Amino acid sequence: MALTLYVDTARWRAHHKHVLEQFPGIVPVCKGNGYGFGHERLAEEATRFGSDILAVGTTYEAARIKDWFSGDLLVLTPFRRGEEPVPLPDRVIRSVSSLDGVHGLVGARVVIEVMSSMKRHGISEQELPQLHAAIEDVRLEGFALHLPLDRTDGSDAVEEVIGWMDRLRAARLPLHTMFVSHLKANELARLQQQFPQTRFRARIGTNLWLGDHEATEYRGAILDVTAVAKGDRFGYRQQKVASDGWLVVVAGGTSHGVGLEAPKALHGMMPRAKGVARAGLATVNRNLSPFVWAGKQRWFAEPPHMQVSILFVPSDAQEPRVGEELVAHLRHTTTQFDRMVDR
């Protein structure tokens, strides 16, 4: 019995087709845990819809995925001198975000990242005059601009890209290809219309693979059910049960990513209030699990174990049965399933 990722394959692929139509020349991104699907599966899907390139996070990911995808592989993490060398084929393209990085990749295929309002990494405007000479020693595949998701200052993403296009053109740098992230389809179309000689390629991961939430579902199988009465002790820490009900052992623990959650940016008073409430409950060992039974998310009876979680289901709910499955609201990018089932 397992934690299973169920995929409505027809619906999932229909969403891929919709995104591909919106973003001509898309660069699918496959990094981390493969957005919950695994690198091999996403490489197969990218091959199926005919992509000529696949973006990965690191050189180590490129080394693992190179036998699953025959096109170009774009490594998104910028090159740094002194990094551990990883044997890679010539079809791997490295990102660089510094002059030193360009000088360190003589003869290599490179995409040069410029500094966006993200302020994460990238070549600055002041470095552009020196960049003109440096690119003579590399095989330039294009420039890249990684944009923020939110623009709380009201600024325009397209205008930011246009600003960099003007700077690169003024520095007499080639503008045949620009890789961009976090642009809407209409914004990409505006840029392509304004700069018809440049090919804009959108690097997309989340929206491509996870954009249709109804296409996938995690479920954990029930392994054991034990009836308990108020006051009974249980578990590693021998806590007391608060009321009559059942202890339900379900597939899915910390090794799967259950109980682990990436920090989220909270906007507005209601989400903040809920966050404070959750934190308060956690101080008295009350933590809501991602597992749903009888229409409600159920509480962890104790912190999740490595491969299973123990939930408490009160006696006023339907009795769970061994072999049944509980829907689990899990974040794809932090979850490792036992098996994937296409249906």
Tens digits of residue pLDDT in 83-134: 999 999 999 999 999 999 999 999 999 999 999 999 999 999 999 999 988 9
Q: Is the pLDDT of residue 340 over 70?
A: yes
Between 311 and 273, residue with greater pLDDT: 311
Question: According to the model, what pLDDT value does residue 37 have?
Answer: 98
pLDDT score at 275: 42
Distance separating alpha carbons of residues 45 and 65, to the nearest angstrom: 13
Are 99 and 131 contacting, i.e. CB atoms less than 8 angstroms apart? yes
Contact (Cβ atoms closer than 8 angstroms) between residue 222 and residue 321: yes
pLDDT at 237: 86
pTM of the model: 0.91
Number of H helices and number of E strands within the chain?
A: 9, 18
Query: Which pair of tokens denotes residue 185?
Result: 């389809």
Q: Hey, which residues does 296 pair with through a beta bridge?
A: 293
pLDDT value at position 263? 56
pLDDT in tens, 29-59: 999 999 999 999 999 999 999 999 999 999 9
What is the helix (H) or strand (E) element at residue 96, kind and residue range? strand 92-96
63, two tokens: 């080394």
Residue 262, pLDDT score: 57
- Residue ranges of domains in the chain, CATH in brackets: 3-210 (3.20.20.10), 217-342 (2.40.37.10)
Q: What is the pLDDT of residues 184-223, one digit of tens each?
A: 999 999 999 999 999 999 999 999 999 999 999 999 999 9
pLDDT digits (tens, 9 = 90+) for 274-327: 343 343 333 334 689 999 999 999 999 999 999 999 999 999 999 999 999 999
286 against 73, higher pLDDT? 73
- The strand ranges marked E within 209-304 are 216-228, 233-234, 239-240, 245-251, 288-293, 296-300
Per-residue pLDDT, 134: 93
pLDDT of 176 above 80:
yes
* % of the chain exceeding 90 in pLDDT: 89
Cβ atoms of 133 and 106 closer than 8 Å: no
Q: Mean pLDDT of all residues in the chain?
A: 92
- Mean per-residue pLDDT for 154-173? 96
Contact 196, 176 (CB under 8 A): no
Please list, in sequence order, all residues whose beta carbon lies within 8 angstroms of the beta carbon of residue 24, skipping any fewer than 6 positions away: none
